[in-house]
Amino acid sequence: TKWNDPENEIIFCTGPICGVTQYSGTGKAHIVTLSPETGTVNDNNVGGYLAPFLKFSGWDLLEIQGKAKEDVIIFIDGNKGKVIIEEVPGMNSDTYLLIEKLTERYADDEKDKRNLSIVSSGRGAENTNLGILNVTWYDVRRRKVRIKQAGRGGTGSVFRDKKILAIVAKYSGVNAGSNNAAYPELVKKAGQRLTKEILGLDHIQNGMREIGTVNLLDHMQNYNCLPVHNFKFGSHPDAFKIDSKVWYQRMTQKQAGDSCWVSCAMRCSHAVDSFELTTGPLKGEKVLVDGPEYETTAGFGGGCGCFDPDFILEANFYCDNYGMDTIGVSTTMAFLMECYENNILNKEITGGLELNFGN
């Protein structure tokens, strides 16, 4: 079976304690398929509300096989016990436009928006093997739909090859017993111990609550492990321009981020609000950018030699919007830049683009 055969499956997996609100980190889903990049089994881990909503709706895992003729939306209503497949030919697949439209379409009112989780990809996944899946959760404080990514291996490209425009999972009434755990008191006790460790140690060890995974950039630079100029070097004198102190100032939350699942004490989801785009079809619009994460910052910053926070945020936004993996895109660009600097590529081949590091 090949990645684009109808027999290839996309499997969305939950887990025994998925969605338990007394234990941090239980909102994760694992997504498994054959990768278009390697031809082998690929698995992604992603946050958002999808996995708990599937679990509470009675699905330990969701297995999708086959191909549709036209774009379809798979709607799973956990409270009513219904699965509906709707044809939606011609609908725009750009992430931010689509998730806003589908949230309005399937939510009964403003309060009901928190009961939806949407899986989608984008036009980048339709035209490359670098496709991701964006999984949503509703940010009540901002009144905005937020996204987390299943990023590596081209899972989004498989998703769009099957003509799935989106999966919409809906479930209301989440409470401490929704998982129906066999030993809830044991889970609660273990969760309390984990929460105590997170609150007591994170600000000393990781800073995930304050700035998320970009805390790693400082350590990678200091230990000469930062991917610079397509992994030629391990540090750079301009790395301070994109270090953790810079992102602490740029990210909206100054103490703790947001939880991409209910009651997670790690609260490692961060964002930059009202970022004004300077390029592309949305130039001039002010948008919310989820992240950036360490890999995105290191890839576009160090890997491509572009130590500019605004450039990294813009690249982050458009990759998410088009359903493309920021790691795959940035490392591909870094490789092309090294080829250009070594005269393997030239302006004739690149269509006039000067692909020097830092450009």
Q: For the chain, which ranges sit under pLDDT 70?
A: 254-256
- How large is the angle between the packed helices 309-322 and 326-341, nearest 10 degrees? 120
- What residues does CATH 3.60.9.10 cover in the chain? 10-170
User: Which residues are registered as beta bridge partners of 86?
Assistant: 73
Looking at residue 257, its pLDDT comes to 73
pLDDT confidence of residue 255: 64
Predicted confidence at residue 291, as pLDDT, reads: 87
Cα–Cα distance measured from residue 113 to residue 99, given in angstroms and rounded to the nearest whole number: 11
Query: At residue 51, what is the residue type?
Result: A
Instruction: Strand 61-64: give its sheet, edge to edge.
Output: 41-46, 29-34, 10-13, 61-64
User: How much is the pTM?
Assistant: 0.95
- Which residues, in sequence order, are bridge partners of residue 286? 276
For residue 113, the model assigns a pLDDT of 98
pLDDT of residue 259: 86
Say what the pLDDT of residue 263 is. Answer: 84
- pLDDT value of position 56: 97
Which pLDDT belongs to residue 254?
A: 64
Cis before 292? omega within 30? yes
> So what's the pLDDT on residue 258?
86
pLDDT for res 152: 94
* CATH class of segment(s) 185-350: mainly alpha
Residues of the chain with CATH 1.10.569.10: 185-350
For the segment 46-63, what is each residue's pLDDT rounded down to a tens digit? Answer: 999 999 999 999 999 999
CATH number of this structure's domain 10-170, picked from the four choices 3.60.9.10, 1.20.1070.10, 3.90.120.10, 3.40.50.300: 3.60.9.10
In this predicted structure, what is the pLDDT of residue 274?
Answer: 95
Q: Could you tell me how many residues make up the chain?
A: 359
